[in-house]
Amino acid sequence: MVELRQIDLRGNPVATLPEALLKLPRLEKLDLRWVTISRPSWFAELEERGCAIYL
């Protein structure tokens, strides 16, 4: 999964996300629209390296 660039979880009933997402070096987009989830502190690290997070 090191080549994974996008994760689209729009509308899914997820409660938490694994911090292991930080280990995806090419992740460019994490789409969490219509997902009720609190923003983990490690989202900032993803954004700093250029990953767009849609909430």
Mean pLDDT of 39-54: 96
The pLDDT of residue 19: 96
The pLDDT of residue 20: 95
Residue 18 has pLDDT above 90, yes or no: yes
The model carries a pTM of: 0.91
Residue 1 has pLDDT above 90, yes or no: no
Mean pLDDT of 22-46: 96
Q: Count CA atoms within 13 Å of residue 40 on its CB side.
A: 14
Mean pLDDT of 10-24: 95
User: In the chain, what is the straight-line distance between the N-terminal and C-terminal CA atoms, in Å?
Assistant: 23
